[in-house]
Amino acid sequence: MRTKRIELEGPAGHVAIERQRGGNTVRIDSIIAEPGKGEQAWKTWEIDAKGTDDTELFWIATEVQRRCDGVVGTNGDVDGYYRELQRFID
């Protein structure tokens, strides 16, 4: 069994994480319901499933957490999003 796509939702936004079978790219789409001034409503990352290091992945998880939850979270808050992203990385 493998996870192909997962969607996560928080009070402020939504994220979809997807990797196609045999693909080397992970696509992360984030949407904010009510973006603040100067903030993008829609943001997409495409990362290498084999070449993305833990530091970069945690940085992305930090931004995804903030966009979904609407507030800057603690490391524990970010860790939940980080673990979901790790499912798609080799």
User: What CATH number did the domain enclosing 9 receive?
Assistant: 3.10.20
Number of structural domains the chain divides into: 1
Per residue in 13-62, pLDDT (tens digit) is 999 999 998 889 999 999 999 998 998 999 999 999 998 899 999 999 99
Instruction: Give residue 62's domain range.
Output: 5-86
pLDDT over 90 at 64, yes or no: yes
Q: Are 58 and 19 in contact (CB under 8 A)?
A: no
- Phi-psi label, residue 44: left if phi above 0, alpha if psi -120 to 50, beta otherwise: beta
Which pLDDT score, from 0 to 100, does residue 30 have? 97
